Structure 1
């Protein structure tokens, strides 16, 4: 258990993955993110209502290990769409769950404030590039989201991030909250790395209206931050990249 995870959270009633997916998959959603110190995150999580909130457990484990690998073009098109706040933007990544070894290829598209996630089970990254099945899936997903001019076959591994995650399910609103900690990034292209063990990223995922966790954090004077586990970390590792969007977050946490 990391310092950002309050003991009271791990003592909440549990929910299994199948039920979480059935009741709160939220593949189309509004995300709000908060970058907090581990101590502030733990303080907020101590106030979570055990009568309305459950914690995801897989094989009895609630603080789960994840590895994500983000893909981008040689010119970092995905990063630049985020940095320049284009209305239509995307991320392509693979995700592996330490608890059971399951892997997925995921595509997240964003239009204005709404995020849509599509996922394909299995390992589709070979030597840093997508296999044919992965290429077809990403191309179809981007085309369906109205995102064109992306040479999917040219995408390759750009940044890997290892972290721990606790996932909460708020029953009254069917919203989810993730708490990421123990974050370490590895630049696949250069071999550089960055670790921020004192940082916790809390993200709320709802159908639109603020979740209970949003209101709890607001009551503690925490407001949503601009942060991306891919783009903000890449900007921190490479100061020559455009980073005005994340200036406050970079100054406070990187």
Structure 2
């Protein structure tokens, strides 16, 4: 991250490396029928949903795409089917949100800005875990150039969302981690599920950066009611859901001194803990 003249840290986009995962996702997206963002949201917006995440090797992802070729369409905007995303996460000095995820707290939450780099737009998002409803995401529009900070409007949104869940918004939130990656989004033709396919992940802080997911795709299946036909197809390929958060994995990669017990096996199997790259 670089610094603005007012002293606030700001993410600096860094071009992601392209590996086997990028090729597999691009091939699947090119074969699918394109559909608009409006159509995707009409079919399966799913702001309250059940999420299942899978780490899928590039060759198995290609097989999954073949199995589901006649059941999924792909998001297409201005003739593009793969998009650059950036998420900037906020946490307290004591890393409250990271530690709540580490402990598996039922009402844990995350606070972030989500930037759509291709169109220079951003959202401010609060994600809540609810043991009865699954993942709840509440978001509002946010100034793209101020995505490194919580504006007064974003603060009101955060306070209202957490207050409705019986939580108080922590006062000392500051940028803690940036994740940047490529994403393709597929949607079921019957509207029962949506899946996001992320690859070539870059996680960074002010002085460090780490790359990951060049040969695996992080597939997140979102559905309103239990396991979908996509989950069943993944199970048929021998794949089981994993508990993984890009924020928590990113923090563990950037700060090896942090406890990371729930994700240690995933970090060892799928993520490279090589010496950090110099952040641009």
1:241 shift after superposition: 1.5
Whether 2:195 is the aligned partner of 1:177: answer yes
- C-alpha distance in 2, partners of 1:217/1:3? 19
- Unpaired stretches in structure 1, ≥5 consecutive residues: none
Secondary structure of residue in 2 paired with 1:129: coil
1:96 shift after superposition: 1.1
Post-superposition Cα deviations, 1:20-76, rounded to whole Å, max 9, x if no partner, equal 1122110000000011233332332232232x2110111111111111111111111
- C-alpha distance in 2, partners of 1:228/1:75? 18
1:126 shift after superposition: 3.9
User: For the structure 1 residues 231 and 151, does the alpha-carbon distance in structure 2 shift closer, same or farther, using more than 3 Å as the test?
Assistant: same
| TM-score under structure 1 length normalisation | 0.91
User: For the structure 1 residues 99 and 210, does the alpha-carbon distance in structure 2 shift closer, same or farther, using more than 3 Å as the test?
Assistant: same
1:247 shift after superposition: 2.2
- Count of residues in Structure 1 that have an aligned counterpart in Structure 2: 249
Post-superposition Cα deviations, 1:92-142, rounded to whole Å, max 9, x if no partner, equal 111111232221111100022600001101227748431111111111111
Secondary structure of residue in 2 paired with 1:130: coil
1:3 shift after superposition: 2.4
Q: RMSD of the TM alignment (CA)?
A: 1.8
1:186 shift after superposition: 0.5
Match of 2:211 in 1: 195
Tell me, yes or no, if the aligned pair for 1:35 and 1:249 is still in contact at 8 Å.
no
- C-alpha distance in 2, partners of 1:127/1:32? 27
22, 26, 41: which one pairs with 1:21?
41
Q: Which has the larger displacement, 55-64 or 97-106?
A: 97-106
Whether 2:89 is the aligned partner of 1:73: answer no
Q: Which stretches of structure 1, 4 residues or more, deviate above 3 A after TM superposition?
A: 124-128
Post-superposition Cα deviations, 1:164-199, rounded to whole Å, max 9, x if no partner, equal 1111111224310000011111124xx111101223
Q: Which has the larger displacement, 32-41 or 160-169?
A: 32-41
- C-alpha distance in 1, partners of 2:157/2:58? 37
Tell me, yes or no, if the aligned pair for 1:72 and 1:158 is still in contact at 8 Å.
yes
- C-alpha distance in 2, partners of 1:4/1:35? 13
Secondary structure of residue in 1 paired with 2:185: strand
Whether 2:131 is the aligned partner of 1:112: answer yes
| TM-score under structure 2 length normalisation | 0.83
- C-alpha distance in 2, partners of 1:39/1:56? 22
1:221 shift after superposition: 0.5
39, 51, 59: which one pairs with 1:31?
51
Match of 1:242 in 2: 259
Secondary structure of residue in 1 paired with 2:67: coil
